[in-house]
Amino acid sequence: MAAAAAGPFSLREVLDAFRRCVTEQREVLLEPYLSGWRGLIRFLQSLGAVFSFISKDAVAKVALLEGHQQQHGFVSLQSLVQHELAAGLAALRARSDSGCRTVLRLHRALRWLQLFLEGLRSGEPRTSVLCTDAYNASLAQHHPWVVRKAATVAFCALPSRDAFLEIMNVGSQEEAVAMLGEAIPYIGNVYSITQELFTQHKLLDLP
């Protein structure tokens, strides 16, 4: 955990974490899932203070999940869901600190990430446009007006596509784009397995 926090961000490390996430039985492993998130948060933090209201929320959510993971020894998302559902869906819905509702928030953000990275890969140079489009197609529908407003303002402070590819730290622009092509399916895979799991247990609208 501490080792993952050291050194400059590299997208490679995030890609690696999301690749390690999915087992042959299509389980999503919590340790690499959270490790992938820690990498993304570090990246976000390196973009400057404008984004700190976003990274703070993500940090709090990852910390909550680490707490649950350590307390109960969950290995996978599936075991976390099963454990929390044992108390019944109504009890789960009444909790504001459940692992399930917290995962759901990160899960929606993962969809944003998938769309955003696809946009970066496509070559559109205006990252704020990419980011806004990805946001409107995913997280925005779950956020109140004031959060949407703040997010949209922050997006204007995003670095250019070239700078973005640079700070991903995976080599030349071509190499960065190639790595995106490799990373997106892994992220997509984690997203769709989680989506299936949450659909199956009727957890997609946890308050």
Q: How far is the CB of 70 from ligand 1PX (least distance, A)?
A: 20
If you ran DSSP here, which 8-state letter would residue 22 be given?
B
CB of 3 to ligand 1PX, least distance (A): 20
- Each as own residue / partner, the long-range contacts of residues 165-173 (CB below 8 Å, 24 or more positions apart, any chain) are 165/120, 167/9, 167/43, 167/46, 168/9, 168/10, 168/11, 169/8, 169/9, 169/10, 169/11, 169/12, 170/10, 170/11, 170/12
Nearer to ligand 1PX, 29 or 107 (CB): 107
Residue 72 Cβ vs ligand 1PX, minimum distance, rounded to whole Å: 20
Query: Are 154 and 51 contacting, i.e. CB atoms less than 8 angstroms apart?
Result: yes
The CA–CA distances, whole Å, from 183 to 10, 17, 91, 173 equal 12, 10, 37, 15
Q: Based on CB atoms, which residue is closest to ligand 1PX, 73 or 123?
A: 123
Question: Where along the sequence are the contacts to ligand 1PX (CB under 6 A)?
Answer: 11, 40, 43-44, 51, 53-54, 57-58, 105, 108-109, 112, 131, 135, 139, 147, 151, 158, 168
- Distance of closest approach, residue 170 Cβ to ligand 1PX, in angstroms: 10
Q: In the complex with ligand 1PX, which residue's Cβ is closer, 18 or 135?
A: 135
**31 versus 118: smaller Cβ distance to ligand 1PX:** 118
3-class DSSP assignment, residue 191: helix
In the bound complex, what is the minimum distance in angstroms from residue 43's beta carbon to ligand 1PX?
5
